[in-house]
Structure 1
Amino acid sequence: MKILVTGAAGFIGFHTCKKLLKNGHQVVGLDNINDYYDVNLKYARLNELGITKKEAEIFNHPSKSNIYDNFFKFIRMNLENREELPKLFEKEKFDVVCNLAAQAGVRYSLENPESYVDSNIVGFVNLLECCRHYNIQHLVYASSSSVYGLNKKIPFSTDDSVDHPISLYAASKKSNELMAHTYSHLFKIPTTGLRFFTVYGPWGRPDMALFLFTKAITENKPIKVFNYGKMERDFTYIDDIVEGVVRIIEKKVENRLYKVYNIGNNNSVKLMDFIEEIERNLQKEAVKDMLPIQPGDVEKTWANVDSLIKDYNYKPGTTIKDGIKSFIDWYKHYYKVN
């Protein structure tokens, strides 16, 4: 198939592009390479896909590389660009769209709400309009476990009500699901939303806990432990996330238009156990700055993945022991840490 992957220079998007190319698909990657975190990491990911920094810096100009005996095309573009996005769809004639582009981060949404509206809401509507007018067979898009907000029932199920988000980021992701449902109903576009649960692994985002903790410990700085360590997360390894995404992309959609799935490890891990595993891998104890919970944070996440098992015979299973080791091995290599 010919697949558009938005957010291609991002953590999950980069890994998804690699997997799709390995599986023999033609992939066009789109990203605006914003400066929410170090753009050099984004350029380095693209370089792994055969796109140089010089090629990636130019807006609305496609660059092409050969990887895994197939072509990867990259284009730097904003999803909010109502003029250029339809031109891309008209030219490339995609079969499937995988939308992994978003302004990420719960805490940042308190400081910069406009960027969430632009990217996560305006950009998503533009994408839906293109799917509507250019005969896209299936739209697969990233949602988030944050939509569960203040829900008390554990584990979180896609059958649960998600009417109490506690961050603008979560609200923007819930709005994506609502808009996708509307377009599926009105225009018969098959859409699948994926609620990701705390994704981690090599090439990860620098604003995520594992990256922040590893960096601070290696630099002999204290780590910030929120809610005094009384947090639990369903940490999900990147390869497990991508396997789920690609299975959903590759399986023909039958007998349904709209669906939402959880993709998580189906296992809640205590934050202090997570930190202990990082310390074990770095052979160094962290200096811990114990702090109250931050606005927008939830105390516990845990995914019910029964419908993913039922429909795709798939359940993530990488342990934090294996996942953290892989990340720290990558981190030491990439940042040349002794």
Structure 2
Amino acid sequence: MRVLVTGSAGFIGYHLCRRLLAEGHAVTGLDGFSDYYDVSLKRARHAGLAALPGFEAVEGRLEAPGLLGDLLGRTRPDIVVHLAAQAGVRYSLENPQAYADANLIGSFNLLEAVRAHPVRHLLLASTSSAYGGNTALPFRETDRAVSPLTLYAASKLAMEAMAHSYAHLFAVPTTAFRFFTVYGPWGRPDMALFLFTRKILGGEPIEVFSGGTAERDFTYVGDLVEAVRRLIDVPPPPTGLRAEGGQDFDTLSGCAPYRLVNIGGGRPVRLDAMIDELERALGRKAVRIAKPLPPGDVARTHASTELLRHLVGAVPETPLSVGIPAFVAWYGGYYGSRGLGAG
């Protein structure tokens, strides 16, 4: 296949590109190298991909007029996986314009490019934050998601809605997936596991929200990439086929080749239990400072994985006892004697 991955220098994009390249596919990776977090980490990811056969690196921002249309016209991908976005729940309170630019205008530009240059399957990364103020657990794709708590969540919901309209109007087979707290090697420095590791190694206290009782559906990056890779091969069928053996938990649209799928571990873990596991992996104790949940955060996330398993079968479920040591090993190897730097 010829695959375009946006956000290829990002955490998930890097791992997905490696997986696709290992299978022998031709991958074009687009990234804007925003300075939201350490750009040198993004450059290192892309440098690793550039060393692999079949990879073409392209630098540019989603919101740049004409860039995506020209890129799709030149590379003619079979598959587009749209991972590029302005991420971060809390940062949306500080710099909302970045979310409008990347997540709204950028995603619109991609949809227009795919309309002009049709693909076999368009896959889009959304977020568990889209469930917003929902309290019924686990979060199911069929739940109404009408109460976003941050602009980040609202921008991702808007992207989902725009993608559905394009799927309907232009028959673009589209899958949107909602990710749940992804972690692992090459992870993002703004995420809790990375922050805690840096601070514990540096002898700094860590802030533990909700006294450690908050729960997150931690998803190891290798498991998530496996799920995305399998979903690439399962584009939504044309409108009207759901009735043929369809399941009541499926989200296949009744008027478009569009589907929404959770990708999570389905096994929420308390934050204090995650910190316990990190302490074991580091061989050090953390100094914990209890803090209330920040605005926009929720007390619990829990993915229903019923639809995912129905579509692609059982996917790996790496436990924290394996995933956290893997992250710690990468962190030590990447930062070495600089191990307190990251950030």
Q: TM-score, normalised by structure 2?
A: 0.92
Partner of 1:159: 142
Q: Distance in 2 between matches of 1:238 and 1:248?
A: 15
The CA RMSD measured in Å over matched residues stands at 1.1
Partner of 1:249: 232
Partner of 2:111: 128
Cα shift readout 1:159-191 (whole Å, capped 9, x = no counterpart): 101101101101011111101110111111011
CA contact (8 A) 1:236 1:316 kept: no
Moved more, 174-183 or 310-319: 310-319
CA contact (8 A) 1:120 1:172 kept: yes
Q: Distance in 1 between matches of 2:280 and 2:323?
A: 13
1:78 aligns with 2:31: no
Identity of aligned residues (%): 49
CA contact (8 A) 1:305 1:315 kept: no
Q: Distance in 1 between matches of 2:195 and 2:169?
A: 43
Structure 1 runs (4+) deviating above 6 angstroms are none
Partner of 1:60: none
1:227 aligns with 2:210: yes
CA contact (8 A) 1:264 1:316 kept: no
Partner of 1:137: 120
Q: TM-score, normalised by structure 1?
A: 0.93
Moved more, 222-231 or 165-174: 222-231
Q: Distance in 2 between matches of 1:44 and 1:278?
A: 25
Q: Distance in 1 between matches of 2:64 and 2:279?
A: 44
Unaligned runs of 5+ in 2: 240-256
Q: Distance in 2 between matches of 1:317 and 1:165?
A: 28
Unaligned runs of 5+ in 1: 51-64
Cα shift readout 1:61-80 (whole Å, capped 9, x = no counterpart): xxxx5x2xx41001001110
Partner of 1:273: 273
Partner of 1:59: none
Q: Distance in 2 between matches of 1:82 and 1:96?
A: 22
1:238 aligns with 2:194: no
- The residue type paired with residue 151 of structure 1 is N
CA contact (8 A) 1:263 1:316 kept: no
Q: Distance in 2 between matches of 1:282 and 1:84?
A: 44
CA contact (8 A) 1:156 1:302 kept: yes
1:171 aligns with 2:177: no
Q: Distance in 2 between matches of 1:24 and 1:145?
A: 31
Cα shift readout 1:86-123 (whole Å, capped 9, x = no counterpart): 11111111111000000000000000000000000000
Q: Distance in 1 between matches of 2:38 and 2:209?
A: 24
Q: Distance in 2 between matches of 1:13 and 1:72?
A: 13
- 2:54 match: secondary structure: strand
